[in-house]
């Protein structure tokens, strides 16, 4: 048997390229799945990336983690299908294409043509597909890319439609009017996920504005009192509909003399100068009207203003008063009966502003909710283009954000302005185009997820998160605060919302289509492509009785997160139920970065939970749940109209009668937690907890650069994955991610950090493997002996073999358990620790046996490396496969083998070795202190150890003697001859027993005679102490013994365990030491002569007489060590090697024999 020679300087990247070729040739990935065809599936879902950008290092991270567990489970015997996937729709794609085409508005896109535009989008989403595929293969992420799902495929889109239809048939789809973050440039609402990416610090003009009371109504206000309200969006003042106060907050009526100076509007005082009465929250008085000294940073500057508090009122005493709005563009009566009055609202706080909140119901979520609750009529003077309409006569056609300052100036002129000042804050902007977002009430399509909030929470309960805290923390909290899913986007490149609306205004019938067949049947037309604009062309006659309208598709497409959240079934072209029946749902494992918490992790969970809801009894595709039917119902502040809808929806699921009342009871307004309106479905008979779509999820952290900065293109601190791969290889890249730290903590990443891992682990492993191959090839005889030979033997070599096998078993068990628990870090570190033991203890201690071709040693090392190659296969698939292939090769790849089972362990031997190694460590420490080289043999080492320790060290005494280079090991039971004991109290046992009295115990222990106390407890006796007059007995466990060294001995100690060296060297020892020096010199000469390790030599020695004499005396040793077939003294040839041994000269001649 001959193995491929191993190059110690093997380039890993080059090796990996070779192995990739082998995998392709042997079709290893496919074969690994094929072989498990009949096995129980272990389900993995690939969260689809978009391929319209180049993959980066963070993608290597997630792909490494997506790879490792499927590989492991495949070896464990499971069928792990790995279907790749691509996310292909969405606004980012559109924006990129818009830039390419130089388009900047929706009107321009439509002029360009939706068909052509979408074609461009379709082309662009696979622009970097080749890069992705190449990187994926190169880092050994085994995933089926040939059969990858794509969210734009008709079969995929159809299943997304099916899911929406199912959700509709459960009564959970509705069209709502709600305030959404809206980009006037892109012309669409943004999801919270998108908004989050666009916060920027900006300076806006903020204004404190007077709202003079004209009719106090039932309130305690006086006509002419001016409420002060604060806004950072003056452009919304033109649409002021009401003022909001908290009913329980304290407000004050204040008589003010003098005027604050306005920083933003420096054109003069904001007149009039007479004393006036203003009203605001008591708690904010000092910040809004500071009179004496400058207030906190954001407070207006005082300018001789003085005030007198006339009266303190609660918010409730203010409500009902009617006031004059600052602008007259919209008549108060247009808002309805409660327009331009003071309304109570729980969301008002005294944290900032004035405690009186200007409410523009079309431009804020709280505002809208309040408006709905108060029955105000919506008036929205701002168009979808972000410009005022003709109602705002002076500013019609202007962009709202542009006229903030002019509006404030108008207020100053009219006397309504109390104070204007610049205000710096973080405000959301469109994450792609940078336009400031408007919060804007508009119709939009929603899924009533807040209604199933408790079911989402229950599903999450069954998920195991890694790290654990995400479950109750970030993700759990997010579910608790669930709001309805804003599903629609008024865009082009996405899955079209499959809802058709009757164009007869009086009818307004809505139908949700669930399949392509259905729409083709209804319309009698072919659907060539489910995307816009083709799908928009399919229309059909309204089915409503007496209606002659035409059903046309609504213009919206859907949120891309709904696409990706549908992947468990849509990727298979099946419904969720079919997928479940096929055993491919739920997933055993998914993995993405933490930023997916509210992205993919949520969309998967939400869709799965939604689809497990029961159908409404009369489900026929009609969209019934529209907010138009429920407008007058009250709502809680934070969820606005959606909550009102929920109440209506609750009736759909609840069968009838009593249970329905129960649901209504649950949703009574004002139940205080801000989530009222969430009806639990357990009330409607679906008591079983929903199944979550994934069982285990690993949540990866972010990759930071070496300075802890987030990597970004703009900072230029991106680590390009190919650089790492070309330099260190994919195994090293993966190994770094797996073992350097817990993956969710994030990485401080640099190319150098990876190099360290290579040197410490991969190189060590590689050298150990190379070592084995070298000696296997060198051993002349074929090895018939089995690895089991000598087991049970107490010889040092048998003990070493048994020890490393036991360690191997321990490692196998540990790695298996950790990987089953999704803990890569400690699994990897266990392997690293084993490889370290293997290389730096087993191999080092067994070198001579390898040299001699000991079959047991070769077999043991081979077995260890083979098992390591299997354990390592999921981590570093290349090097693992190379080792396996060369050492065994029975299967075409290590990745086709079954996961190794752990062998027996010998715990006693493992512990004994531990002790022996500690003893060696102590002895070497003593050596170091003594300044005597280890090459110089010594007579004796004295080891202080008793009982088990002594037995352990004795058992392995050959090893200890050899490591310390001493002739004898002498044991002493106690330290009397070497040092004295020190005793200390064991806080762990005594602390529990004595508690508060512990300091006295410590004192009492310190007062004991250490030698006698130690002797007593070691003999199994007890020692008495007296605390507060009470006697207590201390046993061996209660005292910790420590060695104190005695003068004159070279001693190292650790706990109760010590090693002393006898330092006297007689002539015989000295000559023995010199003989070793001579051997050392000869070996150096051999190496210098470039001889192979197996070459025999003719040896000649000359030089100092003492050295030659020492060599003569130990000639058998010298020639044996150096493979000399003959040796001659006193003469060397011209070709010789000179060495200096303790300042004496030695000349060495070596000739190949």
Rule CB under 7 A: which of 488-547 touch RNA? none
Q: What contacts 301, CB < 8 A, 6 or more positions away?
A: 260, 261, 263, 294
User: Which residue in the block uniquely carries the two structure tokens 């009222």?
Assistant: 676
CA gyration radius, the chain: 41
Please report, as residue ranges, which positions from 412 to 431 form the binding site for RNA (by CB under 7 A). Answer: 426
Q: Are 738 and 880 in contact (CB under 8 A)?
A: no
Using CB under 7 A, pick the residue from 305, 1040, 1063, 1104 that binds RNA: 1040
What whole-number distance in Å separates Cα of residue 1041 and Cα of residue 1011? 10
At 1065, phi and psi to the nearest 5? -120, 120
| Residue number with CB closer to RNA (652 or 699) | 699
Can you read off the two tokens belonging to residue 150?
Answer: 């794509």
Can you read off the two tokens belonging to residue 1053?
Answer: 């100690």
Using CB under 7 A, pick the residue from 137, 346, 595, 1062 that binds RNA: 595
Among the listed ranges 106-114, 392-400, 987-995, 1099-1107, the one in contact with RNA (CB under 7 A) is 987-995
| Residue number with CB closer to RNA (100 or 929) | 929
Can you read off the two tokens belonging to residue 413?
Answer: 């002129």
Among the listed ranges 311-319, 354-362, 674-682, 1081-1089, the one in contact with RNA (CB under 7 A) is 1081-1089
Question: Is residue 710 near RNA by the rule CB under 7 A?
Answer: yes
Among the listed ranges 814-822, 889-897, 948-956, 990-998, the one in contact with RNA (CB under 7 A) is 990-998
Among the listed ranges 402-410, 575-583, 837-845, 903-911, the one in contact with RNA (CB under 7 A) is 837-845
Residue 194 CB, nearest approach to RNA (Å)? 8
**Residue 515 CB: number of other CB atoms within 10 A?**
14
Site string for RNA, 1112-1131 (x = CB under 7 A): ---------xx---------
Number of residues lying near RNA (CB under 7 A): 88
596 given a catalytic annotation: yes
What whole-number distance in Å separates Cα of residue 841 and Cα of residue 836? 8
> Of the listed 580, 594, 596, 1050, which one is catalytic?
596
The DSSP element (H or E) to which 188 belongs, if any, is strand 188-189
947 given a catalytic annotation: no
Question: Is residue 716 near RNA by the rule CB under 7 A?
Answer: no
Can you read off the two tokens belonging to residue 921?
Answer: 């460590």
Beta-bridged to residue 1005, according to DSSP, are none
Please give the full DSSP string across 983-1045, using - where no structure is assigned.
Answer: EEE-HHHHHHHHGGGHHHHHHHHHTS-HHHHHHHHHTT--EEEEETTEEEEE-GGGEEEEEEE
The DSSP element (H or E) to which 437 belongs, if any, is none
Residue 908 CB, nearest approach to RNA (Å)? 20
The DSSP element (H or E) to which 95 belongs, if any, is helix 91-101
> Of the listed 87, 225, 563, 1038, which one is catalytic?
87
Pairing type for strands 1144-1152 and 1137-1141 reads: antiparallel
Residue 399 CB, nearest approach to RNA (Å)? 23
Using CB under 7 A, pick the residue from 324, 525, 691, 767 that binds RNA: 767
Question: Is residue 3 near RNA by the rule CB under 7 A?
Answer: no
> Of the listed 485, 585, 600, 735, which one is catalytic?
600
Question: Is residue 11 near RNA by the rule CB under 7 A?
Answer: no
Question: Is residue 327 near RNA by the rule CB under 7 A?
Answer: no
Question: Is residue 192 near RNA by the rule CB under 7 A?
Answer: yes
User: Looking at residue 46, what DSSP letter applies?
Assistant: P
Question: Is residue 934 near RNA by the rule CB under 7 A?
Answer: yes
| Residue number with CB closer to RNA (308 or 461) | 461
| Residue number with CB closer to RNA (574 or 1056) | 1056
Q: Are 1055 and 1068 in contact (CB under 8 A)?
A: no
Question: Is residue 38 near RNA by the rule CB under 7 A?
Answer: no
465 given a catalytic annotation: no
Which residue blocks in 53-200 are alpha helix, DSSP H? Answer: 57-75, 91-101, 106-112, 114-124, 129-138, 154-169, 192-196
Please report, as residue ranges, which positions from 817 to 836 form the binding site for RNA (by CB under 7 A). Answer: 825
What whole-number distance in Å separates Cα of residue 351 and Cα of residue 180? 24
Edge-to-edge strand list for the sheet holding 1124-1129: 1124-1129, 1097-1103, 1144-1152, 1137-1141
Among the listed ranges 188-196, 332-340, 441-449, 498-506, the one in contact with RNA (CB under 7 A) is 188-196
What whole-number distance in Å separates Cα of residue 57 and Cα of residue 76? 29
Among the listed ranges 411-419, 619-627, 995-1003, 1133-1141, the one in contact with RNA (CB under 7 A) is 995-1003
Residue 45 CB, nearest approach to RNA (Å)? 21
What whole-number distance in Å separates Cα of residue 483 and Cα of residue 690? 19
Using CB under 7 A, pick the residue from 328, 422, 473, 665 that binds RNA: 473
What whole-number distance in Å separates Cα of residue 1046 and Cα of residue 979? 4
Question: Is residue 1083 near RNA by the rule CB under 7 A?
Answer: yes
Q: Can you say whether residue 1103 is alpha, beta or left, with left for phi > 0 and alpha for psi between -120 and 50 degrees? A: left
Question: Is residue 792 near RNA by the rule CB under 7 A?
Answer: no
What whole-number distance in Å separates Cα of residue 439 and Cα of residue 442? 10
Question: Is residue 935 near RNA by the rule CB under 7 A?
Answer: yes
Residue 1000 CB, nearest approach to RNA (Å)? 9
Question: Is residue 748 near RNA by the rule CB under 7 A?
Answer: yes
> Of the listed 40, 99, 267, 713, which one is catalytic?
713
86 given a catalytic annotation: no
Question: Is residue 713 near RNA by the rule CB under 7 A?
Answer: no
At 436, phi and psi to the nearest 5? -65, 135
Site string for RNA, 838-857 (x = CB under 7 A): -xx--xx--x---x------
| Residue number with CB closer to RNA (411 or 926) | 926
Among the listed ranges 290-298, 572-580, 718-726, 925-933, the one in contact with RNA (CB under 7 A) is 925-933
Question: Is residue 62 near RNA by the rule CB under 7 A?
Answer: no
Question: Is residue 83 near RNA by the rule CB under 7 A?
Answer: no
Question: Is residue 1133 near RNA by the rule CB under 7 A?
Answer: no
Q: What contacts 1117, CB < 8 A, 6 or more positions away?
A: 1075, 1079
Q: Are 1074 and 1125 in contact (CB under 8 A)?
A: no
Residue numbers annotated as active site: 48, 87, 561, 596, 600, 710, 713
């Amino acid at each position: 048997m001959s193995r491929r020679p191993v190059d110690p300087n093997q380039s890993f990247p080059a090796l990996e390229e070779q192995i990739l070729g082998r995998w392709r040739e042997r079709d290893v990935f496919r074969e690994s799945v094929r072989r498990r065809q009949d096995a129980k599936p272990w389900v993995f879902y690939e969260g689809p990336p978009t391929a319209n950008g180049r993959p980066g290092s963070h993608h290597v991270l997630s792909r490494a983690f997506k790879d490792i567990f499927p590989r492991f489970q495949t070896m464990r015997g499971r069928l792990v299908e790995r279907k790749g996937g691509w996310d292909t729709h969405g606004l980012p794609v559109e924006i990129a294409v818009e830039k390419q085409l130089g388009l900047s508005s929706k009107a321009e896109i439509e002029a360009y043509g939706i068909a052509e535009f979408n074609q461009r989008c379709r082309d662009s989403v696979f622009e970097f597909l080749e890069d992705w595929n190449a990187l994926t293969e190169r880092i050994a992420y085994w995933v089926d890319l040939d059969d990858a799902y794509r969210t734009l495929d008709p079969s995929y889109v159809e299943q997304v439609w099916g899911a929406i239809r199912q959700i509709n048939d459960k009564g959970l789809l509705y069209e709502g009017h709600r305030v959404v973050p809206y980009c006037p440039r892109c012309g669409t609402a943004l999801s919270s996920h998108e908004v989050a990416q666009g916060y920027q610090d900006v300076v806006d003009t903020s204004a404190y504005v007077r709202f003079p009371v004209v009719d106090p109504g039932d309130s305690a206000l006086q006509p002419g009192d001016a409420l002060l309200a604060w806004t950072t969006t003056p452009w919304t003042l033109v649409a002021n509909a009401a003022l909001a106060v908290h009913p329980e907050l304290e407000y004050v009526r204040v008589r003010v003399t003098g005027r604050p100076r306005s920083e933003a509007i420096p054109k003069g005082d904001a007149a009039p100068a007479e004393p006036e009465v203003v009203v605001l929250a008591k708690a904010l008085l000092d910040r809004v009207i500071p009179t004496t000294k400058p207030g906190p940073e954001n407070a207006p500057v005082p300018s001789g203003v003085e005030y007198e508090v006339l009266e303190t009122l609660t918010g409730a005493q203010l409500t009902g008063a009617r006031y004059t709005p600052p602008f007259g563009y919209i008549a108060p009566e247009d808002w309805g009966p409660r327009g331009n009055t003071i309304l109570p609202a729980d969301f008002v706080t005294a944290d900032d502003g004035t405690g009186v909140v200007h409410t523009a119901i079309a431009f804020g979520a709280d505002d809208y909710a309040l408006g709905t609750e108060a029955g105000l009529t919506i008036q929205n003077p701002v168009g979808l283009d972000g410009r005022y309409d003709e109602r705002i006569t002076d500013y019609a056609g202007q962009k709202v954000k542009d006229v903030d300052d002019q509006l404030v100036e108008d207020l100053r002129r009219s006397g309504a302005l109390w104070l204007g000042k610049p205000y710096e804050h973080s405000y959301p902007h469109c994450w792609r185009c940078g336009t400031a977002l408007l919060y804007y009430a508009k119709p939009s399509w929603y899924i009533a997820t807040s209604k199933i909030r408790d079911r989402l929470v229950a599903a999450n309960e069954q998920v195991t998160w890694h790290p654990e805290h995400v479950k109750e923390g970030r993700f759990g909290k997010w579910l608790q605060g669930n709001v309805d899913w804003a599903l629609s986007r008024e865009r082009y490149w996405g899955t079209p919302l499959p809802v058709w609306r009757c164009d007869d205004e009086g009818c307004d019938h809505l139908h949700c289509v669930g399949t392509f067949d259905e729409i083709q049947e209804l319309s009698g037309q072919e659907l060539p492509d489910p995307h816009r604009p083709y799908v928009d062309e399919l229309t059909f006659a309204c089915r409503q009785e007496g209606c002659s309208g035409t059903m046309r598709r609504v213009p919206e497409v859907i949120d891309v997160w709904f696409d990706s959240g549908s992947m468990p079934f849509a990727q298979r072209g099946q419904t969720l139920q079919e997928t479940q029946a096929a055993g491919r749902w739920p997933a055993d494992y998914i993995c993405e970065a933490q930023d997916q918490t509210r992205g993919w992790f949520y969309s998967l969970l939400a869709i799965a939970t939604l689809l497990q809801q029961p159908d409404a009894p009369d489900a026929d595709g009609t969209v019934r749940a529209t907010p138009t039917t429920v407008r007058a119902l009250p709502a809680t502040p934070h969820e606005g109209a959606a909550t009102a809808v929920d109440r209506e929806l609750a009736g759909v699921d609840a069968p009838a009668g009593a249970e329905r009342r129960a649901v209504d009871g649950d949703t009574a307004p004002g139940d205080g937690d801000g989530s009222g309106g969430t009806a639990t479905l357990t009330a409607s008979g679906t008591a079983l907890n929903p199944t979550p779509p994934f069982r285990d999820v690993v949540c990866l952290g972010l990759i930071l650069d070496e300075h802890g900065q987030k990597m970004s293109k703009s900072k230029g601190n991106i680590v390009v994955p190919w650089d790492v791969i070309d330099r260190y290889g994919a195994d090293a890249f993966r190994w770094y991610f797996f073992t350097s730290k817990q993956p969710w903590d994030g990485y401080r990443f640099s190319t150098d950090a990876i190099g360290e891992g290579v040197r410490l682990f991969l190189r060590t492993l590689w050298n150990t493997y190379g070592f084995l191959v070298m000696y296997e090839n060198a051993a002349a005889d074929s090895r018939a002996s089995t690895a089991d030979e000598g087991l049970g033997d107490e010889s040092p070599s048998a003990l070493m073999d048994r020890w490393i096998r036991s360690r191997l078993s321990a490692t196998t068990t540990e790695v298996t358990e950790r990987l089953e628990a999704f803990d890569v870090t400690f699994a990897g570190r266990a392997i690293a620790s084993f490889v370290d033991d293997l290389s730096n203890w087993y191999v080092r201690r067994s070198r001579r046996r390898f040299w001699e071709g000991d079959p047991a040693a070769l077999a043991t090392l081979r077995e260890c490396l083979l098992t390591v190659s299997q354990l390592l296969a999921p981590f570093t698939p290349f090097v693992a496969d190379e080792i396996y292939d060369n050492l065994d090769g029975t299967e075409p790849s290590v990745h086709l083998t079954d996961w190794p089972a752990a062998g027996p362990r010998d715990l006693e031997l493992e512990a004994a070795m531990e002790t022996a190694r500690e003893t060696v460590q102590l002895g070497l420490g003593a050596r170091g202190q003594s300044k005597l080289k280890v090459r110089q043999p010594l007579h004796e080492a004295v080891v202080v150890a008793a009982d088990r320790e002594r037995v352990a060290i004795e058992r392995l005494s050959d090893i200890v003697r050899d490591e310390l280079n001493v002739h004898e090991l002498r044991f002493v039971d106690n330290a009397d001859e070497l040092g004295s004991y020190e005793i200390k109290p064991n806080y762990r046992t005594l602390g529990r027993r004595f508690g508060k009295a512990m300091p006295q115990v410590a004192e009492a222990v310190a007062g004991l005679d250490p030698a006698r106390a130690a002797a007593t407890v070691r003999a199994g006796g007890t020692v008495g102490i007296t605390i507060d007059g009470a006697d207590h007995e201390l046993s061996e466990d209660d005292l910790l013994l420590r060695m104190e060294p005695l003068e004159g001995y070279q001693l190292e100690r650790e706990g109760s365990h010590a090693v002393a060296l006898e330092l006297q060297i007689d002539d015989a020892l000295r000559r023995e030491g010199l003989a070793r020096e001579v051997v050392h010199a000869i070996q150096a000469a051999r190496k210098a002569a470039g001889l192979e390790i197996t070459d025999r030599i003719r040896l000649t020695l000359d030089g100092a007489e003492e050295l030659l004499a020492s060599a003569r005396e130990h000639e058998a040793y010298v020639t044996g060590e150096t493979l000399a077939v003959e040796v001659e003294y006193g003469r060397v040839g011209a070709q010789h090697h000179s060495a200096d041994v303790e300042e004496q000269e030695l000349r060495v001649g070596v000739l190949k024999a």
